[in-house]
Amino acid sequence: MAAARGLALALLALSGWQWSGAALIHAKATLAPILIARAWQQTLESGPAKAKSRATIRPWSWADTWPVARLRLPARAIDLYVLAGANGASLPFGPGHLTGSALPDDPGTIVIAGHRDTHFAFLDRLSAGELILLQSRTGKIRRFRVTYTETVNAERNGLTADTDRNRLVLITCLQAGLLSFRGPYRLVVTAREE
């Protein structure tokens, strides 16, 4: 009887631990966008000179990322904050700017990556001619039009950062199999600045 009671208490404690972990994940998912939007607003309010100095305003004190742009597709009512770095620190919270590509205020090719099952779920529905607005940290809004969409094997084809043309490239993964998203194929949407 004591063993059964001990097992029941252990299972109850394990269940409570699992539920608290799930609650924490949902709390983060709800709170993170609010904090990112606030950091973006503070970045814009700091003025163009501070934004050009690349000073960062982090959404929370221990964040490994910060907002570097705002991406909007007015026809689809999509409004996203782009975070610094396309890595595990940023991508769970929003699309990420690929380090080494042009920054949103600079000429050249700007590359932004996002998860297909969350922030970039709309990419495969974009059509040529659709308008994409990209706001930089200085407040400048650049207008891009989708020119083409392609599927690329990332193991065979790399992206080149073209500094001669002002382009916006949006990238997400493609499903490799029925239950796998870790294959080499990427959906790449290219837009040219108007």
pLDDT digits (tens, 9 = 90+) for 118-152: 899 999 999 999 999 999 999 999 999 999 999 88
Task: Provide the whole-model pTM.
Answer: 0.82
Domain boundaries, position 99: 3-193
Neighbouring residues of 189: CB distance < 8 A, sequence distance ≥ 6: 123, 126, 146, 148, 149, 169, 170, 171
State the Cα–Cα distance between residues 164 and 160, nearest whole angstrom.
11
Comparison of pLDDT for 117 and 133, the residue scoring more? 133
Please state the domain count of the chain. 1
Q: What secondary structure letter does DSSP report for 15? A: H
Q: Per-residue pLDDT for 55 more than 80?
A: no
Residue 4 pLDDT: 77
Mean pLDDT, to the nearest integer, of 101-127?
93
Tell me, what CATH number does 148's domain have? 2.40.260.10
